[in-house]
Structure 1
Amino acid sequence: MLDLQRTLKTLRNDADWVSLRYVTEKTTLRSVRDEKPDRNNITFDQGVMVEVLVQGHFGFAGTSDLTESGIKRAFAKATAMAKSAAAFRVHEFSADHRPVAQGTYRSPVVKPLDAFSAKEISDIFIEATRAMKTSDKIVSRSATTMITETQFYTISSSGSEVDQSFSIVSTDFSATAAEGSETQTRSDSGGLARCLQVGAEIFDRNTILERCQKISSEAVELLSAENCPDEKMDLLLAPDQMTLQVHESIGHPLEYDRILGDERNYAGWSFVKPNDFGNLKYGSNLMNVTFDPTITDAMASYAFDDTGLKATKEFLIKDGVLLRGLGGLESQARLGLPGVANSRSSSWNRAAIDRMANINLEPGNSKLEDMIASVERGVFMLANKSWSIDDYRNKFQFGCEYAKLIENGKLTKTLKNPNYRGTTVQFWNNLKAVSNVRETYGSPFCGKGEPNQVIRVGHTTPYCLFKDVEVFGA
């Protein structure tokens, strides 16, 4: 029987510091396509990550062998790696970079995930895809959910004991319409699933059916819509698109390991330099961005990161000025800059690295209807369809699923194939209005690191209005 505390006692004298992180994860994937069950898969994974500090350097080794001898073998491997790497270290670390942490975290769940059987979820999704058949022009309909139940239990030789359990549900619904050579798809979240830390309460039949009927009607509507015009104008972005805008042009460039160059061979660098913190006018005075893993129900909420640093809300950008980046204790020590509790690992077989958590654009004071009324000529875009951004997270181009032309303060024509492009700092300095309401989205598929780690991130964003943006059609 697994007894981490007993095993830890046998390892303490052979390293300056050691921790054991036990991770279990059950993932359930259910989907329905065109009123027929499509996938019903359940996977389970578990293992232990052994982390040591030897001669001022950290070493790691993961194992799925949960016997005491298996964990000891992983400990020996981690110790050997730390000793070998210590001769080439770029920074000398100490146990201070792994603070003592004690506490628990549980996702806020109103209704337990087992409150719905597999059949009940399948029946709701069958009805959802049926509801999307609003026209003979609808040629494909899908409903998907990914349910993840995860536990991270960590103990250390310095006295840490952290137990965090997560209940994460992602849902996505989409409808594709076709007529002749024209094909248009409308989804519930633009490829960024509605990802939340919730329970079975997310499977509310009436809410799901209402959303599905709406996106289906809009998919048909897009078939006869005009192409988005090619010109520079005001751009109003909905929260489902702002989510990706924040993720790509704020979250990734502020990661300290990118700024240090650790990710340059894979995920890329950043245009942000260390001396930009406290100085760079990243955006207009309306731009306020926070790192906040304490938000209730957001996808990347937690009490402690995987190094034991307590999670707190911190301003990354305040009144448009860049203040703080996304770096855990190791990166903070290397750069000599303040950071946040964001050293996170994707599972038992990965070391913690600098990752996004909940990166949020704080709401402003504007009402959405007033933002629309203020626009003489512009485009209102919703739901991401495509994206591209350079290795430095500077020049970008995004495409959306659905748009409305704004003329003389009113939403008029529907537009298809809407796109926009820009450069990060100029774009954010053109922010001229932020709504007083916001919505939460997320992604379970943010990739980074070598070996690769796919991790969950969350973003809570309002509606945002930008001036002088280059928009264009397909």
Structure 2
Amino acid sequence: MNLTGSLNLNLHKTLSSFQDSVDWAQLRHVSEKTTYRTVRDEKPDRNHISFDHGIMVEVLVNGHFGYAGTSDLSDSGVKRAFSKAVAMAKQASSFKVHDFSVLQRPMAKGHYHSPVTRPMDSISAKEISDIFVDATRAMKVSDKIVSRSATAMIVETEFFSVSTSGSDVHQKFSIVSTDFSATAGANGDTQTRSDSGGLARCLQVGAEVFDRASILERSKKLAEESVELLSAENCPETAMNLLIAPDQMTLQVHESIGHPLEYDRILGDERNYAGWSFVKPDDFGKLRYGSNLMNVTFDPTIPDALASYAFDDSGNPAKKEFLIKDGLLVRGLGGLESQARLDLPGVANTRSSSWNRAPIDRMANINLEPGTSKLSEMIASTERGVFMMANKSWSIDDYRNKFQFGCEYAKLIENGKLTKTLKNPNYRGTTVNFWNSLKAVSENRETYGSPYCGKGEPNQVIRVGHTTPYCLFSNIEVFGA
């Protein structure tokens, strides 16, 4: 899928006719192909392909931005969208909260391509289906297995943007999200184990991700663990040390760090829909968010992570920045517009979900940096605790402060050793107290992602990535079903 050849010249030609009538303008073309492949209980269930493409026209008039999207890619269609964007900017400028300028839309030139070893067109639908049929067959480890599934979502996206300030950016993404799940049932109880707790193994990769041997091995193990959970004890209700695996740490980072640090939430722009934040502008440089082992970065430069890119949609170049350094909150998640409004440093995270949405502050790759501990040492140092993995449920308040998470699978830790399997494990806490109880961070990390982070009005479902280690917390409230 390559639309940048003749389209490149057309965009520049159309853009040139806007040059003298606005302070600034940008055309951003997005084309996307999405493929779904699903097998349930050894039978193909869903094979679906969809295409979407269009252009977002963005303008700056009277210190205010205006937007209009169109799927009519003709010159006349784009010019109609331009007129709508100008009218919107002029009308809204009478009520603007800030006087913006071209400083919030720097010139950007460059390209980005996902690191693909094997192109997606090198594998057929039949090959993927055959692997998935075998995966669900491998899950049939017991008569207690009542449901088995294997799913892939393959997204191939191309962004191409030009602006009157000289920007010329091409970014091409290859994204594969997979999930394998087995459910066991007996005596009125059902237990599910999935490959990643519902978040999906979602990366910027190619067809190399469909490795039959590793998929079959993972699938069988998940099924065995779902059966094992049926006879397991419930997680005890008490306060104890809590060791969390990277697949669950992904959601913990996402909900209790990523969202509360988004500047538009702090400004109150999101409070009517997705909520706001307990973090205040004065907290930056002062708030002890966590223990001195806590180091969190915004990093869209990790090669295979889901939300890596070269430039955000404002043209701001992407680079790694510390959000929390040695436990101290130092920087938030705000693009150039929010940075200007708050007079605080931010990051390159002005992003839109597609051609028909205006860019807003979004987290990208929010990562917990590795520590120095080995996983075996973290277990050995724990006299009594619980080791939880794979998210099952979550709840967090509008301020991103009080939370409760449930996991699929857990092991009791007794005298430095993993002992009993526990089912229905849950834990709860408040954000700052929880992160200040962090007592050990592993030296190795794993990368996960979510393609379904929702925010904004109208809603924007966008992709985010998280690379996280194993983390050990002290005196956390845990409980069973």
For residue 434 of structure 1, give the secondary structure of its aligned residue in structure 2: strand
1:247-298 CA-to-partner distances (Å, cap 9, x unmatched) read 0000000000000000000000100000000000000000000000000100
Moved over 6 A (4+): none
Name the TM-score, length of structure 1 as normaliser: 1.00
Query: Aligned to 1:262, what secondary structure does the other structure show?
Result: coil
Please state if 1:432 is matched with 2:439.
yes
**Structure 2 unaligned regions, length at least 5:** 1-5
Question: AA paired with 1:128?
Answer: A
Report the CA distance between 1:136 and its aligned residue. 0.5
Q: Which residue of 2 aligns with 1:150?
A: 157
Rounded to whole Å, the distance in 2 between the matches of 1:115 and 1:402 is: 36
Whole-Å separation in 2 of the counterparts to 1:339 and 1:268: 20
Q: How does 1:225-240 map to 2 (within 5 A)?
A: 225-240=232-247
Alignment equivalent of 1:355, drawn from 358, 362, 370: 362
Residue identity matched to 1:103: G
Match of 2:56 among 33, 45, 49: 49
Distance 1:343 1:133 in 2: 45
Q: Secondary structure at the match of 2:293?
A: coil
SS of the aligned residue for 2:33 comes to: strand
The Cα of 1:446 is off from its aligned counterpart by 0.1
Superposition deviation, residue 45 in structure 1: 0.2
1:89 aligns with 2:96: yes
Q: Of the candidates 191, 195, 203, which is equivalent to residue 210 of structure 2?
A: 203
Residue of structure 2 in register with 1:191 after alignment: 198
Match of 2:27, as an amino acid? L
Residue 391 of structure 1 is matched in structure 2 by 398
Q: Does 1:450 align with 2:457?
A: yes
Deviation at 1:160, TM superposition (A): 0.2
Residue in 2 that maps onto 1:39: 46
Distance in 2 (alpha carbons) for counterparts of 1:360 and 1:335? 24
Match of 2:273 among 248, 266, 278: 266
Q: What amino acid is aligned across from residue 325 of structure 2 in structure 1?
A: K
Which segments of 5 or more consecutive residues in structure 1 lack a partner in the other structure?
Answer: none
Note the alpha carbon deviations across 1:60-93, whole angstroms, 9 max, x for none: 0000000000000000000000000001101000
Quick check: 1:9 aligned with 2:16? Answer: yes
Deviations 1:27-70 (A, max 9, x none): 00000000000000000000000000000000000000000000
* Other-structure match for 2:144: 137
Q: Which of 118, 131, 137 is matched with 1:111 structurally? A: 118
Count residues with an aligned counterpart: 474
The aligned residue for residue 253 of structure 2 is 246
Equivalent residue number for residue 306 of structure 1: 313
Matching of residue 66 in structure 1 with residue 106 in structure 2:
no
Aligned partner letter, 1:105: Y
Counterpart residue type for residue 372 of structure 2: N
* Displacement of 1:137: 0.4
1: CA distance between counterparts of 2:367 and 2:447? 9
The structure 1 residue matched to 2:169, chosen from 149, 162, 168, is 162
Task: Report whether the alignment pairs 1:460 with 2:467.
Answer: yes
CA positional deviation for 1:361: 0.1
State the Cα distance separating 1:113 from its structure 2 match: 0.5
| 1:164-183 matched pairs, under 5 angstroms | 164-183=171-190
Match of 1:279?
Answer: 286
Q: Secondary structure of 2:19's match?
A: helix
Identity %: 78
Match of 1:369 in 2: 376
Q: Take 2:453 and 2:233, find their aligned partners in 1: how far apart are those partners?
A: 33
Amino acid across the alignment from 2:232 = A
Deviation track 1:381-415 (CA, whole Å, cap 9, x = no partner) reads 00000000000000000000000000000000000
Q: Where does residue 18 of structure 1 map in the other structure? A: 25
Alignment TM-score, normalising by the size of structure 2: 0.98
- Does residue 220 of structure 1 match 2:220? no
Pairing of 1:286-305 with structure 2 (within 5 A): 286-305=293-312
From 308, 320, 325, give the equivalent of 1:318. Answer: 325
Amino acid at match of 2:36: L
2:3 is matched with which residue? none
Please state whether the residue corresponding to 2:247 is helix, strand or coil.
helix
- TM-superposed deviation, 1:131: 0.3
**Structure 1 Cα separation of the partners of residues 60 and 21 of structure 2:** 10
Q: How many angstroms apart in 2 are the aligned matches of 1:157 and 1:133?
A: 59
Alpha-carbon separation, structure 2, partners of 1:5 and 1:270: 41
Q: Which amino acid aligns with 2:11?
A: L
SS at match of 2:364: coil
Taking the aligned partners of 2:49 and 2:278, their CA distance within structure 1 comes to 41
SS in 2 for 1:12: coil
Question: What code does the residue aligned with 1:295 have?
Answer: I
- Deviations along 1:149-202, one digit per CA (max 9) or x if unpaired, are 000100000100000000000000000000020100000000010000000000
Give the letter aligned to residue 360 of structure 1. N
Q: 2:345 aligns with which of 338, 342, 347?
A: 338
How far 1:11 moved relative to its partner? 1.2
SS class of match (1:87): helix
SS at match of 2:461: strand
1-structure distance, mates of 2:443, 2:11: 48
Residue 114 of structure 1 and its aligned partner are, at CA, apart by 1.1
Q: What secondary structure does 1:14 align onto?
A: coil
Give 2:371's aligned amino acid. G
Residue identity opposite 1:419 in structure 2? N
Superposition RMSD in Å:
0.5
* 1:96 Cα deviation after fit: 1.0
Q: Which residue in 1 is equivalent to 2:108?
A: 101
Q: Secondary structure at the match of 2:400?
A: coil
Counterpart secondary structure, 2:129: helix
Q: Which amino acid aligns with 2:175?
A: I
Map of 1:77 onto structure 2: 84
Provide Cα deviations, 1:326-353, integer angstroms capped at 9, x if missing partner: 0000000000000000000000000100
In 1: Cα distance, 2:166 partner to 2:276 partner: 36
Match of 2:74, as an amino acid? T
Deviation, 1:13, is: 1.3
